[in-house]
Amino acid sequence: MSDYKIETKCIQSGYQPGNGEPRVLPIYQSTTFKYDSSDQMGRLFDLEESGYFYTRLQNPTNDAVAAKICDLEGGVAAMLTSSGQAASFYAIMNIVEAGDHIVCASALYGGTYNLYAHTIKKMGIDATFVDPDCTEEELDNAFRENTKAVFGETIANPALVVLDFEKFAKAAHSHGVPFIVDNTFATPINCRPFEWGADIVTHSTTKYMDGHASCVGGAIVDSGNFDWDAYADKFPGLTTPDETYHGIVYTKKFGKGAYITKATSQLMRDLGSIQAPQNAFLLNIGLETLHLRVQRHCENALNAAKYLEGHEKVAWVSSPSLPGDKYYDLAKKYMPNGTCGVITFGLKGGRDAAVRMMDSLKMIAIVTHVADARSCVLHPASHTHRQMNDQELKEAGVQPDLIRFSVGIENIEDIIADLSQALEQV
């Protein structure tokens, strides 16, 4: 980890060119890498030596961008994935086997909910979803003998529930399992979950990190803090010999790098959800302005929330940055500098009014995305979460009338003018 401030890390971390080398991180647009001796190539395949040989496993462009994200989060090792979904999948699959179980905060991104509630269930992995506002005792009761991880989102998309890190970290650690946090919405600019007890962080880099809605991507960062050997029985994949690499034991051979090395050399090797180096290059350009954009997103979101809160046709507004919000105090504790640019609101006219207002917007577009430079809206009950029934929606913190508003970095006066004229149509 470098000693620079976070703004400097956004620009300087990950890639340091040597004398006469390109100033800007190059795109290594190559699937493969050349060696002079067959013996050396063999040592790479045995993980006896580190080096590049095939982009599905590692690529220098991707590694530089992963190193930057690692530094931003304050971790010890990181990897990029092809999408946020792949990051959420690998982060869990790296430490579970059929017959295992995980505990998740129920306020989750719709795709993550599907993945953990349905898809990994078919692979024999069970998930218990707990209300993020549950008591310590209720949380404790969700654990089983075979529980291997606890998962939650810093700020849930789209419920905007702020996760009580200390409560979840304490529960995870008292049961000898890692606490995994999806930090997509807060970004490391506003929150670094490792400082609050998280062991592993995941990202959909598709959102604020890229910030321009140009490439889908993900990342996994390891704090290096979880002691796998102390709970060796629970995590045989990390603590017993891997026969596919001549019996190496990841924790013995790679120490604090064990988790990411295993995810790269086993999961990426076998499942292949690699981020294209071209996308990693674009992601890196996004990261260079992350600190500036996140600040403006948050400022605009708070102003838009205050405007909506004062409007006669608006029934409710939710933003953890808004004084009086249910999660205001938790947000102040874990994210004193701001939360995210996404807010939600409902209209007095309910679901029909929501649809009518959205259709009347001129600049603010209806898109299945959040957290890029352009303001946009979405109606989760009829879009991202439409596969859920009303009970599941409620558990995920999504009311049927909820409009998710991702406030962009345009001039706030133009954003408010568009809201205003659309509300007049309702």
Ligand X SMILES: *Cc1c(COP(=O)(O)O)cnc(C)c1O
Contact residue for ligand X among 157, 187, 264, 321 (CB under 6 A): 157
Residues 28-87 that bind ligand X (CB under 6 A): 83-85
Around Cβ 396, how many Cβ atoms within 10 Å? 22
Q: Is 116 in the site for ligand X (CB under 6 A)?
A: no
Residues 213-272 that bind ligand X (CB under 6 A): 216, 218
Q: Are 94 and 267 in contact (CB under 8 A)?
A: yes
Q: How far is the CB of 373 from ligand X (least distance, A)?
A: 16
Q: Are 257 and 73 in contact (CB under 8 A)?
A: no
Residues with Cβ within 8 Å of 128's Cβ and at least 6 positions away in sequence, in order, are 101, 102, 103, 104, 142, 144
Cα angle 204, 206, 208; round to 5? 90
- For ligand X, give the closer residue by CB, 274 or 347: 274
Q: Is 207 in the site for ligand X (CB under 6 A)?
A: yes
Q: Is 111 in the site for ligand X (CB under 6 A)?
A: yes
Contact residue for ligand X among 109, 250, 327, 405 (CB under 6 A): 109
Distance between CA atoms of residues 2 and 6, nearest Å: 10
The closest residue (CB) to ligand X is 84
- For ligand X, give the closer residue by CB, 84 or 237: 84
Contact residue for ligand X among 206, 264, 266, 406 (CB under 6 A): 206
Packed helices 412-424 and 290-309: angle between N→C axes, nearest 10 degrees: 30
- For ligand X, give the closer residue by CB, 245 or 281: 281
Residues 183-202 that bind ligand X (CB under 6 A): 184-185
Strand 403-406 and strand 376-378: the pairing is antiparallel
Q: How far is the CB of 384 from ligand X (least distance, A)?
A: 9
Cα angle 12, 187, 18; round to 5? 15
Q: Is 400 in the site for ligand X (CB under 6 A)?
A: no
- For ligand X, give the closer residue by CB, 246 or 383: 383
Residues 320-339 that bind ligand X (CB under 6 A): none
- For ligand X, give the closer residue by CB, 111 or 176: 111
From the list 109-117, 232-240, 316-324, 327-335, the region that binds ligand X by CB under 6 A is: 109-117
Sheet bearing 200-204, strands edge to edge: 77-81, 218-222, 200-204, 179-182, 147-153, 101-105, 126-130
Which 3-state string (H, E, C) describes 300-344?
Answer: HHHHHHHHHHCCCCEEEEECCCCCCCCCHHHHHHHCCCCCCCEEE
Interacting residue ranges for ligand X, rule: CB under 6 A: 83-85, 88, 109, 111-112, 153, 157, 182, 184-185, 204, 206-207, 216, 218
